[in-house]
Amino acid sequence: MIKIKNKNRLISRLKKLSASSQLPVKQTMLKSAKKIQNESKKLISKGSRTGVVYYRGEISSRRSAPGEPPKTDTGVLVSSINKIKRNDGFAYTIGSFVKYAWYLEFGTKDNKILPRPWLQPTFLKNKKNITRNIRKSVKKALRGAIK
């Protein structure tokens, strides 16, 4: 999550701007959400894993070890990663409604499943650039409204 001082006040101000003045912020938010969505899918789909080897019939595969992103098996998790528009496009939520997505990200209380984070590392990797881009787009929107 990116913390914004006086977020509600800022969003209220942005919503009062013309649609063309709002556009830079909304485009930046959508672009950022897509980046997190796509990179988290790639993180699960690709990359080396160091976990246990298992067999499905004659086909072998290697699971992810705790601390590594989960390794795709059926593709359900990857295909379920989605973005949801909030606040008329001024915010997005990225995640999955697949029940085990939470357990993979954070582990279970009983430690039967240890964390294999995929969403938070993707966000943290991109947080600095996203924050910078949002700041630029908000300034651009507010400057455009003054003209």
The predicted structure's pLDDT at residue 43: 94
Q: How many CB atoms lie within 10 A of CB 130?
A: 19
The predicted structure's pLDDT at residue 29: 95
Percent of the chain predicted with pLDDT > 90? 61
Q: Mind listing the pLDDT tens digit for each residue in 34-70? A: 999 999 999 999 867 888 888 888 888 788 899 999 9
The predicted structure's pLDDT at residue 67: 93
User: 120: closest CA among 100, 132, 102?
Assistant: 102
* pTM (global) more than 0.75: yes
The predicted structure's pLDDT at residue 7: 78
The predicted structure's pLDDT at residue 52: 83
Rounded mean pLDDT, 117-130: 96
- Band of the pLDDT at 132, cuts 50, 70, 90? very high
Q: Where are the domains of the chain?
A: 24-146
- Residue 103's identity, in one-letter code, is Y
Q: Mean pLDDT score of the chain, rounded to an integer?
A: 90
